[in-house]
Amino acid sequence: MTTMAAIAHSSTSAATAHLGLRERKKIKTRAAIRRATYRLIMEQGYDATTIEQIAEAAEVSPSTVFRYFPTKEDIVLTDEYDPLMEAALRARPADEPLTISLRHVIRDAVEQAMSGEFESPEEQRLRSRLMAEVPAVRSRARESMSVTGRMMCGIVAERTGRAPDDLEVRAYCMGVVGAMMEASIHWAENDHRDNLADLVERTLDVVEHGLTPGKPAGS
């Protein structure tokens, strides 16, 4: 997901500085495949873009693409930096309320993403639009969301003294990552007019405080 990837990107330079040549090459290859995919989708659409075309544009073999990304949806959605998000949360003060820690980390991530430092605004909007419009991408996004949610369960369990598989812990964590996904989809469905960081804040308010009564639809 966009916000999760942004957390990672904000720490990528520091993290990769300690990696060996082989790992740095892998990161470079993944980035080339991702850029080629975005470019082709922008030019001809998602369905018309094939793995063979992506491989040719990225100057790698189709088997290399599949080695890094099992499906085309994974190229768009890859969130390979959950450990860095985990580090960002663990870096918050131990006595800080959990909701405040999450808001700080997520807000910083969204603002980093919107700065355009690591992805162009067009690429960010494209990813959210594909999540909103392409069923296969949205389905894969939900699978990725569950992985991030399980990672978050470990941190929340530590901070609350509960077990990671506690139902309340799982419900809370999946509520948080689900809120971020819905914020991104809503952003796309409304032509990216709103500020994504503000949308995420709104969804986190619902997770934290519940849904307040509003006017009936159409009133």
Of all residues in the chain, the percent with pLDDT exceeding 70 is 83
Q: How far apart are CA 149 and CA 176, in angstroms?
A: 8
Who has greater pLDDT, 93 or 112? 93
**pLDDT of 4 higher than 60:** no
Mean pLDDT lowest among 49-53, 111-115, 210-214: 111-115
pLDDT given at position 28? 84
Pair of tokens at residue 18: 């300690």
Contact 2, 113 (CB under 8 A): yes
Mean pLDDT lowest among 110-114, 117-121, 142-146: 117-121
Contact 110, 100 (CB under 8 A): no
DSSP state of 215: P
**pLDDT of 60 higher than 50:** yes
pLDDT given at position 19? 55
The string of pLDDT tens digits covering residues 44-59 is 999 999 999 999 999 9
Mean pLDDT (whole number) for 139-162: 89
Sign of the Cα pseudo-torsion (100, 104, 109, 115, in order): positive
Contact 111, 174 (CB under 8 A): no
pLDDT given at position 11? 41
The string of pLDDT tens digits covering residues 5-32 is 444 444 444 444 455 777 778 878 888 9
Cα end-to-end span (Å), the chain: 34
The string of pLDDT tens digits covering residues 161-203 is 999 999 999 999 999 999 989 999 999 999 999 998 899 999 9
Contact 97, 156 (CB under 8 A): no
Pair of tokens at residue 37: 């995919």
pLDDT given at position 184? 92
Mean pLDDT lowest among 61-70, 81-90, 174-183: 81-90
pLDDT given at position 15? 45
